[in-house]
Amino acid sequence: MFFSKLIPYIPSLIKGLGITLELTLLSAIIGFIAAIFLVVGVLYGNRFFKSLCNFIITLIRGTPMMVQLFLIYFGLPGINIRLSPLTAAIIAFIINSSAYQAEYLKGGFMAISKEQIEAAYSIGLNKWDAIRLIIFPQAFRFAIPALSNEIVYLIQYTSVAYTIGLPELFYISKNFASKTYMNIEIYLFIGIIYLIFIYIITKLTDFVEKKLYIPGFDTSHLK
């Protein structure tokens, strides 16, 4: 009964899943790159950049995701910037995720002893090479578990983009529910789909962690 009603929705569910994953991956990856700039600014920038990056992080983490999303989608047209729901969602999630990822990376950076950068200086590396070649590779490994958590969080939290009419996975399901009244069935069903993808992501990050494994950087004893 449920599945026969579901069949016509399958193409849009697949499309919705695609949008969910696109939104998640773009926010995770571009957010990660932005996070590197933020955390390096906070930890190694001059006074101006330190304050600026701290301010950005505080601002983003201090306001609800939904407020940021609505500001970009419904607020920006007020100054004549009109974005599609997808573009608005991508921008909002990149901004939001970058601040959280910056905090996770910061934890990794702070786990590295000061002697590491001094040793890098002592062989003649300059500050930025020392950060790039010595500090970041270690900090990143320490931050992997937290960063993988961020991806899991993003997959789930991208569902709030339904509020601006983005036809992602949750939006399609909600449509289906309002037309068929099969609330239990459809929400259980997409719950399972989310679960499957989160399971796959978890396995993928485990794989990445194993690939990057270096003795002394093992976090498996913490799991």
**Binding footprint of another protein on the chain (CB under 8 A):** 113, 115-116, 118-126, 129, 133-134, 137-138, 141, 214-217
Of 51 and 218, which has the nearer Cβ to another protein?
218
- Find how far residue 55's CA is from the centre of its chain: 20
Of 78 and 216, which has the nearer Cβ to another protein?
216
**At closest approach, how far in Å is the CB of 157 from another protein?**
32
**At closest approach, how far in Å is the CB of 214 from another protein?**
5
Which residue type occupies 140?
F
Q: Which helix (H) or strand (E) holds 34?
A: helix 10-44
User: Tokens for 203?
Assistant: 């396995």
Q: Phi then psi for 62, rounded to 5 degrees?
A: -90, -5
Of 100 and 142, which has the nearer Cβ to another protein?
142
CB 57 within 8 A of CB 45: no
**At closest approach, how far in Å is the CB of 133 from another protein?**
6
Of 112 and 182, which has the nearer Cβ to another protein?
112
Q: Count CB neighbours of 204 within 10 A.
A: 12
Of 82 and 114, which has the nearer Cβ to another protein?
114
Q: Burial, 10: exposed, middle or buried (Cβ in 10 Å; 0-12, 13-18, 19+)?
A: exposed
Residue 200 to residue 5: CA distance in whole angstroms: 28
**At closest approach, how far in Å is the CB of 218 from another protein?**
9
**At closest approach, how far in Å is the CB of 137 from another protein?**
5
DSSP assignment string, 47-63: HHHHHHHHHHHHHHHTS
